[in-house]
Amino acid sequence: MSNPELVIMRTGVANLASITAAFRRQGIEPHLSSSPEQILSAPMLVVPGVGAFGAAISEMQAKGLDQALLERLSQGRSTLAICLGMQILFEGSAESPDFKGLGFIPGRATSFPASVSSPQFGWNRIETDENCQLLQPGACYFANSFKLDHAPAKWSAARARHGESFIAALEGPGLLACQFHPELSGRLGQGIIKRWLASSREGSGSC
């Protein structure tokens, strides 16, 4: 059997139905996997996330997915990380202080200020850096209690505001990491997914 073109990583803490449906609308059939070998070798990988930071890290470590994902990212292989799937790439999170993240993206996830509702559920406008290639400004759907405050050096970023400015998404070599849910963000989200697929297949652009 040939290797699947697109793999969605099973973290054990994510609802995968909406992500699977989003890619089917783009004419591609995703393959769900918790195999470290497939996580490393898949032409395109999606790292989803709904749940707690510590639980996700523990599940990945138990299955050897953490090291496979780190190796994949270090090779610049095309990867889309969504919501908690983005946060596990950080050094850590205020949600689970006793757990270390993968540390691929510098920084730690912090809580929203007490002056705003948390978690943030709903639509929020993102604004993009001028050098973003896959992201576009517009309204996207968020469901998050934690966020990255500052973009690391040399990463292209989109930002949103919920009480204070935070990083809505990052573009870097081989990686598109979205704090929002592109699969739930209507036409704009489908456009992001479509451009990520095209960029991945072409091997061009920041991803």
pLDDT tens-digit map of 94-140: 999 999 999 999 999 999 999 999 999 999 999 999 999 999 999 99
Average pLDDT over residues 182-195: 97
Mean pLDDT along residues 85-98: 97
Residue 204 has pLDDT above 60, yes or no: no
Total count of domains within the chain: 1
Q: Is residue 154 one of the residues assigned to a domain?
A: yes
Residue 207 forms part of a structural domain? no
> Looking at residue 49, what is its pLDDT?
81
Rounded Cα distance, 131 and 75, in Å: 22
Q: Whole-angstrom Cα distance, residue 96 to residue 42?
A: 30
Q: Tell me, what CATH number does 65's domain have?
A: 3.40.50.880
- Average pLDDT value for residue range 20-33: 95
- The reply to whether 156 falls in a domain is yes
At 11 the pLDDT is 78
Provide the pLDDT confidence category of residue 50 given band limits of 50, 70 and 90: confident
What does the mean pLDDT of the chain come to? 94
- In this prediction, residue 4 has a pLDDT band, given cuts at 50, 70 and 90, of confident
Catalytic residue positions, numbered: 83, 181, 183
Count other Cβ atoms within 10 Å, centred on residue 165.
Answer: 13
pTM, 2 dp: 0.94
Q: Is the pLDDT of residue 190 over 80?
A: yes
Residue-number span of the structural domain to which 130 is assigned:
6-202
Residue 138 covered by a domain: yes
Question: Please, which pLDDT band fits residue 51 given cuts at 50, 70 and 90?
Answer: confident
In a domain, 30, yes or no: yes
Indicate if the pLDDT at residue 64 is higher than 60. Answer: yes
What is the mean predicted confidence (pLDDT) over 176-201?
97
Does 49 fall in a domain?
yes
More confident residue, 168 or 204: 168
Does some domain include residue 62? yes
The reply to whether 1 falls in a domain is: no
Q: What is the pLDDT of residues 156-174, one digit of tens each?
A: 999 999 999 999 999 999 9
